[in-house]
């Protein structure tokens, strides 16, 4: 019997390769999304399999294995690499240890050449393959999936930035994403997008995708539970936050330019929470010189970061382009002011909550920063009160997903 779009999935095959590769590292927005899918599908009554691509081939996890992987991401339990991981020459210690632990609990495994029979042994007719991490969507996998009986392929696109803004990416990342997008364009039965802007740009670049295959489903926010804020020179003083990997599109150099004018002892501080990325050597050099009132905090746990954000004067988000804009959503969820460019995805979700200021207008940014800092001082160290807005949640996301599937 043919499987229609609205037929319930007989099983979910979730690609968890990205989660395995990123275990042990602070999660990015895409990491959070894939982990949210693992958590939700583990609790779902539909059978779940997790697919992992390693240097030595593929591992297939059952629902218990997926739950163990998720628990390991929160509290690492696999610390040592086995002989196979050592022989593969992996230099990524957390990934090698994670793959070693999963090998012990996988329900099946195979070399890349034997992937198709592995999937055929386990997947029932009418299963759905889900790729949320934009990893491991290669030709070998696609051919193996297509050999399975009436299996549908669904891919979540988080942005098309490497195609739209190639100068902000490395050549390697541009080529990698182009190959991914071309495969999605040709082979996906369903494409999920995190914003209308991502959908619009995806369709603009597509050759085979039609609009009826592309759906917008906002990602949810994680459960935000602020912990204890770390102390530093900013404690009990007005400070602002900038969150995200330090790379060209985040426009951190723009903030450093403004902070050159904040030289007085009572000037606000800038806390940059994000690891160093790519194509930003000038920004890295400036940070290495430790500019006044600017502090790099690259590896904060989420609860500590959220605590700092909650008590800040505001989030500064001069990003040039975003697929969704998680930091702005988290700030709004906590009732923290946001100053940002008029990004389509942020306006789509947060409407008029942020203070929109074009990053070409440094005077307007400076004016707004001083106003927010003054408001913070006027409250004698108490959190600046701002209306909290409703932000997307994962339950609504999955309700819509299963309707579409």
| DSSP label at residue 113 | G
The answer for residues whose C-beta is within 8 angstroms of residue 243's C-beta and 6 or more apart is: 273, 274, 305, 309, 315, 317, 327, 330
The residues near 253 (Cβ < 8 Å, ≥ 6 apart) are: 280, 282, 283, 286
pLDDT of residue 314: 97
Residues 213-222, mean pLDDT to the nearest whole number: 95
Q: What pLDDT, on the 0 to 100 scale, is given for residue 1?
A: 34
Helices (H), 134-170: 139-146, 161-164
- What is the pTM (predicted TM-score) of this model? 0.91
Q: By the 8 A CB rule, do 270 and 316 touch?
A: yes
Strand-pair category, 57-61 with 108-110: antiparallel
Q: Which fold has domain 12-220+395-404?
A: Rossmann fold (3.40.50)
Instruction: Output the CA–CA distances (angstroms, integers) from residue 93 to 41, 85, 121, in the order listed.
Output: 28, 9, 32
Q: 279: which DSSP letter?
A: S
Distances 300 to 35, 132, 244 between C-alpha atoms, Å:
19, 25, 12
CATH number for the region 239-377 comes to 3.40.50.2000
Q: Percentage of the chain with pLDDT > 70?
A: 95
Buried b (16+ CB within 10 A) or exposed e, 44-70: eeebbbbbbbbebbbbbbbbebbbbbb
Q: What is the mean pLDDT of residues 36-42?
A: 97
pLDDT at 381: 40
Please say if the pLDDT value at position 68 is more than 70.
yes
| pLDDT score, position 91 | 74
279 CB-side CA count, 13 A: 13
State yes or no: pLDDT of 383 exceeds 80: no
Residue 227 has pLDDT above 70, yes or no: yes
Q: Which part of the chain is CATH 3.40.50.2000?
A: 239-377
- When pLDDT is cut at 50, 70 and 90, the band that residue 7 belongs to is low
* Average of per-residue pLDDT values in the chain: 92
pLDDT at 8 over 80: no
Q: Which residues contact 245 (CB under 8 A, 6 or more apart)?
A: 28, 274, 275, 276, 277
Q: What is the pLDDT of residue 84?
A: 80
- Confidence class for position 135, pLDDT limits 50, 70, 90: very high
Tell me the three state secondary structure of residue 225: coil
pLDDT tops 50 at residue 2: no
């Amino acid at each position: 019997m043919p499987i229609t779009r609205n037929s319930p999935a007989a099983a979910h095959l979730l690609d968890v390769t990205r989660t395995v590769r990123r275990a042990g590292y602070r999660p990015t927005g895409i990491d959070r999304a894939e982990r949210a899918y693992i958590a939700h599908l583990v609790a779902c009554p539909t059978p779940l399999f997790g697919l992992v691509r390693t240097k030595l081939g593929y591992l297939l996890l059952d629902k218990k294995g997926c739950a163990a992987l998720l628990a390991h991401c929160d509290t690492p339990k696999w610390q040592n690499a086995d002989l196979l991981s050592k022989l593969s020459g992996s230099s990524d210690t957390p990934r090698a240890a994670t793959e070693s632990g999963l090998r012990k609990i996988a329900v099946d495994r195979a070399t890349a050449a034997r992937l198709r029979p592995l999937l055929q042994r386990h997947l029932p007719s009418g299963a759905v393959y889900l790729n949320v991490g934009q990893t491991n969507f290669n030709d070998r996998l696609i051919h193996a999936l297509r050999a399975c009986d009436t299996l549908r392929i669904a891919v979540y696109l988080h942005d098309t930035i490497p195609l739209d803004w190639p100068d902000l990416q490395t050549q390697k990342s541009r080529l990698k994403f182009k190959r991914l997008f071309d495969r999605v364009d040709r082979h996906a039965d369903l494409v999920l997008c995190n914003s209308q802007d991502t959908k619009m740009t995806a369709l603009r670049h597509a050759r085979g995708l039609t609009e009826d295959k592309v759906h917008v489903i906002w990602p949810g926010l994680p459960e935000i539970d602020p912990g204890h804020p770390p102390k530093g020179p900013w404690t009990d003083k007005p400070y602002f936050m900038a969150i995200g990997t330090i790379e060209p599109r985040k426009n951190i150099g723009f903030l450093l330019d403004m902070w050159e004018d904040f030289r007085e002892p009572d000037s606000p501080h800038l806390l940059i929470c994000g690891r160093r990325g790519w194509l930003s050597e000038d920004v890295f050099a400036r940070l290495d010189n430790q500019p006044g009132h600017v502090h790099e905090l690259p590896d904060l746990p989420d609860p500590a970061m959220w605590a700092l954000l909650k008590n800040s004067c505001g989030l500064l988000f001069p990003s040039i382009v975003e697929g969704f804009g998680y930091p702005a959503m988290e700030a709004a969820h906590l009732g923290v002011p946001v100053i940002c460019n008029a990004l389509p995805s942020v306006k789509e979700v947060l409407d008029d909550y942020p203070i929109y200021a074009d990053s070409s207008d440094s005077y307007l940014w400076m004016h707004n920063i001083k106003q927010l800092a003054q408001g913070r001082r006027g409250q004698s160290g108490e959190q600046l009160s701002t209306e909290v807005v409703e932000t997307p949640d994962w339950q609504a996301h999955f309700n819509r997903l299963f309707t579409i599937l």
